[in-house]
């Protein structure tokens, strides 16, 4: 039996005396109770792995979305600069665009990392689904056995029957929740693949060039009539191919040339 040490203080009369050590036995039940109180319940390793995988996948996805937003801002600022500053040459522009393309390459790596994280989470959820499915069928068989014995007039455990009748629907509900999560993960992975396949369109900024395109086409009606839109788009394509720049910047380049040819107003 475990023991404990008790220090007995000296009485007032014998203040000079040494403290006395007394060893007393401790009942095991008390010690076990103290140990149980000290130990806090912890989640299972399976649940912890699922939680960690979920957090990592969501963090990787947020990184992708944040970098997409950053690239869009870079594109917007670069286009505005190219439009507003005549001294910004195509050579300077192309060097900037090369840097943004390098960022897109890094982004594709981030996308693949996010896909891998979601794939791991999906795998863990599928394992969890299979485990619950196995548990469901085992308990369903047990419940069916109790039903048949009950029909035969044989004694059964009513509490066990009630427990199974409550447990089985709960397991089905868990399976439905996990199945829903798996489908959501598959959709997220497909979204990331589409982003990777259309990386430029997803990260480009088009509002400015579309507005300028409208101005050029409107001005071109006086020369080309109904063919203005088609002809302007053809010119933009030629510039983009000749200069090796995206259509958005080719549109701005054409707009700048058109503005330079416009007569300046005089007082």
The 10s digit of each residue's pLDDT in 203-222 is 999 999 999 999 999 998 88
For residue 130, count other CB atoms closer than 10 A to its CB: 12
pTM of the entire predicted model: 0.75
Confidence of residue 191 (pLDDT cuts 50, 70, 90): very high
Both 56 and 153 in one domain: the answer is yes
Both 126 and 214 in one domain: the answer is no
Both 187 and 235 in one domain: the answer is no
Query: Helices 90-151 and 247-261: crossing angle, nearest 10°?
Result: 140
Both 137 and 156 in one domain: the answer is yes
Q: For residue 25, tell me if it sits in a domain.
A: yes
Rounded Cα distance, 48 and 57, in Å? 14
Rounded Cα distance, 151 and 164, in Å? 17
Both 197 and 98 in one domain: the answer is yes
The number of domains in the chain is: 3
From 203, 231, 250, the end of a domain falls on: 203
Both 130 and 176 in one domain: the answer is yes
Confidence of residue 267 (pLDDT cuts 50, 70, 90): very low
Question: Which position has the token pair 């475990």?
Answer: 2
- Strands 3-8, 20-25: parallel, antiparallel or unpaired by DSSP? antiparallel
Rounded Cα distance, 95 and 194, in Å? 27
The 10s digit of each residue's pLDDT in 144-183 is 998 998 888 888 889 998 999 999 999 999 999 999 999 9
Q: What is the mean pLDDT of the chain?
A: 86
Q: For residue 267, tell me if it sits in a domain.
A: no
Both 195 and 72 in one domain: the answer is yes
More confident residue, 6 or 210: 210
Q: For residue 171, tell me if it sits in a domain.
A: yes
Confidence of residue 264 (pLDDT cuts 50, 70, 90): low
Asked whether the beta carbons of 40 and 90 are under 8 A apart, the reply is no
Both 115 and 195 in one domain: the answer is yes
Average pLDDT estimate for 44-69: 95
Whether pLDDT at 187 is above 70: yes
The 10s digit of each residue's pLDDT in 84-113 is 998 999 999 999 999 999 999 999 999 999
Residue 1's pLDDT is 52
DSSP 263: P
| Count of residues making up the chain | 267
Both 121 and 194 in one domain: the answer is yes
Q: For residue 235, tell me if it sits in a domain.
A: yes
From 186, 203, 220, the end of a domain falls on: 203
Residue 41's pLDDT is 40
Whether pLDDT at 11 is above 70: no
- Give the domain extent around 84: 46-203
Left (φ > 0), alpha (ψ -120 to 50) or beta: where does 225 sit? left
Query: Helices 45-84 and 158-197: crossing angle, nearest 10°?
Result: 20
Beta bridge partners of 3: 25
Both 169 and 137 in one domain: the answer is yes
Residue 55's pLDDT is 97
The CATH number that applies at residue 120 is 1.20.1050
Count the alpha carbons within 13 Å of 52 in the hemisphere toward its beta carbon.
7
For residue 172, count other CB atoms closer than 10 A to its CB: 14
Both 29 and 113 in one domain: the answer is no
């Amino acid at each position: 039996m475990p023991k404990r040490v008790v220090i007995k203080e000296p009485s007032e009369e014998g203040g000079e005396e040494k403290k006395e050590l007394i060893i007393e036995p401790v009942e095991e039940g008390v010690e076990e109770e103290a140990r149980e109180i000290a130990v806090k319940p912890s989640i299972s390793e399976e649940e912890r792995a699922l939680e960690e995988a979920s957090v990592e996948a969501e963090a990787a996805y947020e990184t992708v979305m944040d970098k997409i937003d950053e690239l869009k801002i870079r594109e917007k600022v670069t286009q505005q600069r190219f439009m507003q500053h005549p001294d910004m040459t195509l050579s300077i522009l192309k060097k900037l665009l090369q840097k943004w393309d390098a960022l897109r390459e890094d982004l594709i790596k981030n996308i693949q990392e996010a896909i891998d994280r979601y794939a791991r989470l999906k795998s863990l959820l599928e394992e969890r689904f299979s485990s619950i499915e196995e548990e469901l069928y085992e308990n369903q068989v047990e419940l069916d056995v109790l039903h048949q014995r009950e029909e035969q007039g044989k004694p059964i455990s009513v509490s066990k029957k009630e427990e199974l009748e409550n447990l089985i629907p709960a397991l089905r509900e868990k399976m439905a929740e996990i199945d829903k999560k798996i489908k959501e993960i598959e959709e997220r992975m497909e979204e990331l693949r589409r982003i990777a396949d259309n990386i430029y369109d997803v990260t480009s900024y088009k509002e400015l060039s579309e507005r300028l395109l409208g101005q050029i086409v409107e001005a071109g009606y006086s020369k080309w009539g109904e063919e203005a839109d088609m002809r302007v788009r053809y010119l933009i394509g030629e510039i983009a191919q000749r200069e090796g720049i995206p259509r958005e910047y080719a549109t701005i380049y054409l707009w700048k040339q058109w503005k330079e040819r416009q007569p300046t107003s005089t007082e």
